[in-house]
Amino acid sequence: MADLKPAYLIHGDDHGAVAERRAGLRALAESEDGSDSVESLEGESATPEGVAGALAAMTLTVGRRVILVDGVERWKQAEVEQRLAPALAAMAPDTTVALFAREESRTKAPAAVHEAVKRAGGQVVAQATVKPWDLPKWARAQAARMGIELDMAAAAALVGQVGERQQRLLRELEKLALELDGPGRVTVEEIEARAAHSVQYRAYTLADALVGGSPREATRVYVRLREQGERLAGLTYLMASRLRDALAVALRLGAGESPAEVRRGLRMPPRAAERFVRDVAQTDPERLRSALATLADLELDTRGGSPLPDARSRMSGLDEETLALRAIETITDGR
């Protein structure tokens, strides 16, 4: 299998891209004539010692042997130097070891893994997420590779509609490329008309309107989501998630943290984080707790109410559309 190198390290905080690389590598290995062996090391077996043991084990496979290893972000530098590095250096021909590290801010593949893979003649591939403010520029570059011309306004509109997930943005660009059927320019108006709107993005917009006490905006976004065919149960889950984030922010502000400190801990674009913290600062934790209780009642009532007849609310017999709109009114009332 000439297409595969002896070793790979696929690492980064773009977990979706890491997973795609893993799936692609496995598909490449399995697409051959069937004489190749693909093994996976996960959990307790996915350690430097486990990889060294697998490489030392005898195999009767004819063809290239491919070993996929997950969880490299949990490894220790000393273990890699003692166990993995010598094993990769003495690796048998026709063997490929692919190491995958799904990294976070403080959890990364040790430097010794990078060095060992390079010394073995392998390849290190970083899969990093793009900062939110750089996404329009990144989207333009990806579009250009597909023959699509986007100006910055159109790229910003795409990110605004689809959301910040790079994999979703790529899928939307691929669909645009197929619709164009050749090189072409896409305008802001075309993006707004053709690109899909992220359900999560809009559900969070709805939740932010609840936090900010904007009944008209909350109702408008809710109606648009329902017109798209979104289920109330899924929207309720996303709204509750956002309101829990808001409650956590309110408690941090109440404990004396500055808005700037709180914003730095949020995984949002800077402007969105600033607006979110500002809206939360104008409410109080009890209101947010009450909003979460209202959403919990909404979820229960849309499922027929409490299993105990005496505990059912007088609202449980209403249709779910009425229940949802009344919940929005209750949450935003008095703001």
Segment 109-114 long-range contacts (CB within 8 Å, at least 24 positions apart): 109/9, 109/11, 109/72, 109/73, 109/75, 110/75, 110/76, 110/77, 110/80, 111/77, 112/77, 112/80, 112/81, 112/84, 112/85, 113/9, 113/72, 113/75, 113/80, 113/84, 114/9
Q: Please say if the pLDDT value at position 60 is more than 70.
A: no
The pTM of the full predicted model, rounded to 2 decimals, is: 0.49
**Per-residue confidence (pLDDT) for residue 317, from 0 to 100:** 53
Rounded mean pLDDT, 87-97: 91
The SS3 of residue 230 is coil
CATH label, 199-332, candidates 3.40.50.880, 3.40.50.300, 1.20.272.10, 1.20.1600.10: 1.20.272.10
pLDDT at residue 292 greater than cutoff 60: yes
pLDDT at 181 over 90: no
CATH 1.10.8.60 in the chain: give the residue spans: 132-194
Could you report the per-residue pLDDT of 68-84, keeping only the tens digit for each?
999 999 999 999 999 99
How is 24-35 classified by DSSP, letter by letter? HHHHHHHTSSS-
Q: pLDDT at position 311, please? A: 45
Q: Which CATH class is domain 7-126?
A: alpha beta
pLDDT tens-digit readout, 300-319: 887 765 444 444 455 555 67
More confident residue, 269 or 251: 251
CATH code for the structural domain at 132-194: 1.10.8.60
Report, in this order, helix, strand and coil percent for the chain, each rounded to 5: 60, 10, 30
Report the residue count for the chain.
335
**H or E element in which residue 10 lies:** strand 7-12
Write down the pLDDT at residue 195.
Answer: 54
User: How crowded is the C-beta side of 96, counted as CA atoms within 13 Å?
Assistant: 24
Q: Label residue 1 by pLDDT band (50, 70, 90).
A: very low
Query: What pLDDT is recorded for position 199?
Result: 61
d(CA 306, CA 312): 5
Check residues 69 and 166 and name the one with the higher pLDDT: 69
**Token match 């913290």: residue?**
277
